[in-house]
């Protein structure tokens, strides 16, 4: 029953969590949001989590034209997507990247933060 519920609601849940992360939420909420994102993605089959993350990060409504879209253009969101998918099995690094995504979207750090997840040993 839980699998079916996850299958039904997982995509929307991932979208809402990404929206909360990249939005103006208080920075103190980000670790909890990142934890929730990880729990949903880790509980789902890899291909499903990959699709949900990809859809959320490609959703232009979450990155409207303006500052957030300039800080996180589509090609950079694809990099974040690839790194998150590769890190689902590594909870601490997944969560750290999700928090860094929020920081980038809110102009608290630069896109260079993504590099650490791409070049560090997996």
Confirm whether pTM is higher than 0.85. yes
**Dist. CA 11–CA 32, nearest whole Å:** 18
Closest CA to 18 of 70, 65, 72: 72
How confident is the prediction along the chain (122 residues), in pLDDT tens digits per residue?
677 777 788 999 999 999 999 988 899 999 999 999 999 999 999 999 999 999 999 998 888 766 655 678 889 999 999 999 999 999 999 999 999 999 998 889 888 888 888 775 55
Closest CA to 102 of 80, 82, 78, 75: 80
């Amino acid at each position: 029953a839980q699998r079916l519920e996850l299958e039904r609601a997982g995509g929307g849940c991932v979208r809402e969590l990404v929206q909360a992360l990249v939005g103006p939420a208080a920075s103190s909420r980000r670790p909890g949001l990142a934890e929730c994102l990880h729990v949903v993605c880790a509980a789902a089959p890899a291909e499903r989590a990959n699709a949900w993350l990809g859809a959320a990060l490609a959703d232009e409504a979450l990155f409207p034209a303006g500052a957030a879209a300039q800080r996180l253009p589509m090609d950079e969101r694809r990099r974040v997507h690839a790194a998150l998918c590769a890190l689902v099995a590594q909870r601490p690094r997944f969560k750290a990247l999700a928090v860094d995504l929020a920081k980038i979207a809110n102009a608290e750090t630069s896109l260079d933060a993504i590099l650490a997840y791409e070049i560090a040993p997996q």
